[in-house]
C-alpha cells in the first residue's frame, strides 16, 4: 500500500513519466516494460472509463512504473470510483482556485478529514478486505496532484500551493497557452515566461512541480530547475511518429515481394 511515487516526490527525486492516451491495457503494459517512474492514465482527453482504467491499473501492477490517473473532471463521485479500483495517485485537471483544490483534497480523504465514501472492503483498493487496515492508512498514502492551466489558476497559484493535501502542481502548457491568447503555440515567448515563473513559484512553495513536454532538452531543463515529475512523451504520439517514419523509409522503393507467396514480406 505504500505509495512509492509520493515518497519519491517528497524526497525531491525527479520522476520521469510517460502519458498514456490509447486507453488500452495491452499498450499500457508494453509501456510499463520501459521502466518509466510513472505512467499517466488519461481519463480527460482519452476514451477511458472506470473499467478501462481498472484494466490498465492491473496491467501496470507487476511493473515498477507507478500509475497516476487523470479523471475526466474533479468530481467527488468520479474520484471515489477511481480510488476504490486501486489508484493511489491522481492528477486532477482544471483547478483554478484554492477553494477548488481544498474540495478535491476532501474528495480523496475519508471522514473526518474529507468526504470519500467508505466502501473499501468490497473494492480492489483494499484487496477486497485482505488489507484490513486500508481505511486507517489510505488518507496518508494518497498523492494528489492538481493542474494549473488557465490564467486564473496562475493568478491564484500561490494560494493553491498553500492547500494542505495537495502534493504537487502540474502546469498544463496547451490549455494555458490558449488561456493566454496563444492557442496552439505553447512555445510562444510570453507563454514560456509564464510557465517558467509558475514552475519557480511551485518549487519555492515546497510542492512538487510537474509538466509535460516532448522536447527532451526542455525536459532536462525542467528537471535541472527543480521540477520533480516530468512527462517526456505521449505514447500515442510516439506510435504515430514511429510508424510514419518507418513508412517514409520506403517512399521511393517498393517493398520486396516473395513470388512464391504472392505477397509482400
Report residue 82 as a C-alpha cell.
477511481
| Secondary structure of residue 2 in the 3-state scheme | coil
For residues 261 and 7, what is the distance between their CA atoms, to the nearest angstrom? 57
> In this structure, are residues 212 and 173 in contact, taking their beta carbons and an 8 Å threshold?
yes
Report residue 219 as a C-alpha cell.
525536459
> In this structure, are residues 225 and 203 in contact, taking their beta carbons and an 8 Å threshold?
yes
| Secondary structure of residue 145 in the 3-state scheme | strand
Q: Choosing from 45, 113, 182, 253, which is the catalytic residue?
A: 45
253 part of the active site: no
List, in sequence order, every residue forming a beta bridge with 144; answer none if it has no partner.
Answer: 90
Cα 131–29–230 angle (5° rounding)?
Answer: 90
Which helix (H) or strand (E) segment is 244 a member of? helix 235-248
Closest CA to 160 of 86, 222, 99: 99
For residues 106 and 115, what is the distance between their CA atoms, to the nearest angstrom? 6
For residues 201 and 161, what is the distance between their CA atoms, to the nearest angstrom? 9
Residue whose C-alpha cell reads 483544490 in the numeric block: 101
* Residues with a known catalytic role: 45
Amino acid at each position: 500500500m505504500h505509495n512509492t511515487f509520493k515518497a519519491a516526490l517528497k524526497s525531491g527525486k525527479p520522476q520521469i513519466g510517460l502519458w498514456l492516451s490509447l486507453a488500452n491495457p495491452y499498450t499500457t503494459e508494453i509501456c510499463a516494460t520501459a521502466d518509466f517512474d510513472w505512467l499517466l492514465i488519461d481519463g480527460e482527453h482519452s476514451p477511458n472509463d472506470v473499467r478501462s482504467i481498472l484494466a490498465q491499473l492491473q496491467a501496470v501492477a507487476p511493473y515498477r512504473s507507478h500509475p497516476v490517473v487523470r479523471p475526466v473532471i474533479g468530481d467527488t463521485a468520479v474520484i471515489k470510483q477511481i480510488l476504490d479500483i486501486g489508484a493511489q495517485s491522481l492528477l486532477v485537471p482544471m483547478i483554478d482556485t484554492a477553494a477548488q483544490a481544498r474540495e478535491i483534497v476532501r474528495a480523496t480523504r475519508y471522514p473526518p478529514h474529507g468526504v470519500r465514501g467508505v466502501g473499501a472492503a468490497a473494492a480492489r483498493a483494499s484487496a477486497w478486505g485482505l488489507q484490513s487496515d486500508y481505511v486507517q492508512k489510505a488518507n496518508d498514502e494518497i498523492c494528489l496532484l492538481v493542474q494549473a492551466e488557465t490564467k486564473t489558476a496562475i493568478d491564484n497559484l500561490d494560494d493553491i500551493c498553500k492547500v494542505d493535501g495537495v502534493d504537487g502542481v502540474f502546469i498544463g502548457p496547451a490549455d494555458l497557452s490558449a488561456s493566454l491568447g496563444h492557442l496552439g503555440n505553447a512555445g510562444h515567448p510570453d507563454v514560456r515566461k509564464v510557465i517558467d515563473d509558475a514552475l519557480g513559484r511551485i518549487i519555492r512553495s515546497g510542492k512538487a512541480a510537474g509538466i509535460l513536454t516532448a522536447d527532451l532538452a526542455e525536459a532536462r531543463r525542467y528537471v535541472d530547475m527543480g521540477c520533480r515529475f516530468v512527462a517526456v512523451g505521449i505514447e500515442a504520439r510516439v506510435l504515430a511518429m514511429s510508424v510514419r517514419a518507418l513508412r517514409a523509409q520506403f517512399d521511393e522503393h517498393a517493398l520486396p515481394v516473395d513470388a512464391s507467396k504472392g505477397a509482400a514480406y
